[in-house]
Amino acid sequence: MAAVLGPVLLLLITTTVINVLQNKAPKCLPSFLRDWYFLPEVLRSLKPFDRVITRFIDWWPCCKKETKTETDTADGKTTTVTQF
């Protein structure tokens, strides 16, 4: 249990210390640690996972979106309504 819990705990402590230093004293950190952009996007954002899941949902037949376009004749504005 210590072989798994030890590295996880070390990672959490390190991440917490870097986050606190980024907010409180960024000048103490090297330039690449002042933000998290040195990490790949997968490690700092959920956006790549969202793209994969959205592609899968768009592909799946039961989850197709219906898009209706309505035009208001009074002022000529077009409104797009998406229904699931």
Residues 24 and 57 in one domain: no
Residues 28 and 54 in one domain: no
Residues 29 and 51 in one domain: no
Residues 50 and 10 in one domain: no
Query: How many folded domains does the chain comprise?
Result: 2
Residues 6 and 26 in one domain: yes
Residues 64 and 32 in one domain: no
pLDDT reading at 83 higher than 60: no
d(CA 51, CA 82): 19
Q: How many CA atoms lie within 13 A of 83 on its CB side?
A: 3
- Residue 50: predicted pLDDT: 92
Residues 46 and 66 in one domain: yes
- Name which of 79, 61, 63, 82 is nearest 71 in CA terms: 79
Span 31-55, pLDDT tens digits: 999 999 999 999 989 999 999 988 8
User: pTM for the whole thing?
Assistant: 0.57
Q: Which runs of E-coded beta strand occur in the chain?
A: 66-71, 78-83
Domain carrying residue 27? 1-38
Span 62-77, pLDDT tens digits: 666 655 655 555 666 6
